[in-house]
Amino acid sequence: MKKINIFLIIISFFFILSSERSDNNLFLDIGKLLEIEFIKHGELYMKNKNSIIKKIDIELADKATEKRNGLKYRSFLKENRGMLFIIKNQEEYKRIDMENMRIFLDIIYINQFDTVIFVNQYVSPMRKFEIVDLPSKIKYILEINAGMSKKWGIKKGITKITWYLNKKK
């Protein structure tokens, strides 16, 4: 239902703007007006050794559309939030890009043992970035605000994650 409402809002903005404007900046204006709301699906805990270093709220991206859109069209992400992508095959993680993103992110790659194997820090929005071939099978990708991985002490090969859903998604 929310997807239908968002679609109707976008169409309404399009018609309002098109009736008032006739130049080529129409779609840029729509992008400034569109803001996708964070939906808390669960909580994710990060730990080094046996100590929890951080708990954040997560929005889950497990369907194709959710993975394709990710955090696109959002102007901000609160510090204690992130998006967790569930990776079903190894080609999926290579398709994630920063086109149409508005915020800088740290992108954290997590293997089948729930261990961080790579952290791509301060990834710039609105561009493609080089996807590295990782030595381990990717199970999850966690996107958080840029700088948080360093601030929270997330370490490759040491930090592990555990996450829980609040309710059925």
CATH number, domain containing residue 161: 2.60.120.1140
Please tell me whether residues 61 and 118 are part of one structural domain.
Answer: yes
Note whether 90 and 15 are same-domain residues. no
Token digits for 85? 């992508």
Tell me which amino acid residue 97 is.
Answer: D
Please tell me whether residues 66 and 115 are part of one structural domain: yes
Question: How many CB atoms are located within 10 Å of the residue 166 CB?
Answer: 11
Provide the residue-wise pLDDT of the chain in tens; the chain has 169 residues: 555 555 545 555 555 444 444 444 444 445 556 678 899 999 999 999 989 999 999 999 999 888 888 888 888 899 999 999 999 887 777 667 677 788 999 999 999 999 999 999 998 887 776 666 777 789 999 999 999 999 999 999 999 999 999 876 5
What is the tally of structural domains in the chain? 2
The structure tokens listed for 169 are 């998604």
Q: Which residues contact 39 (CB under 8 A, 6 or more apart)?
A: 59
Contacts of 33 (CB under 8 A, 6+ apart): 13
Same domain membership, residue 73 and residue 131: yes
Are 26 and 51 found together in one domain?
no
How many other CB atoms are there within 10 angstroms of residue 141's CB atom? Answer: 22
Domain that holds residue 17: 1-34
Are 161 and 118 members of one domain? yes
User: Helix 26-33 to helix 2-20 angle, to the nearest 10 degrees?
Assistant: 140
Are 55 and 120 in the same domain?
A: yes
Using DSSP, state whether 122 is helix, strand or coil: strand
Distances (CA, A) of 30 to 10, 13, 18, 53, 56: 7, 7, 10, 39, 30
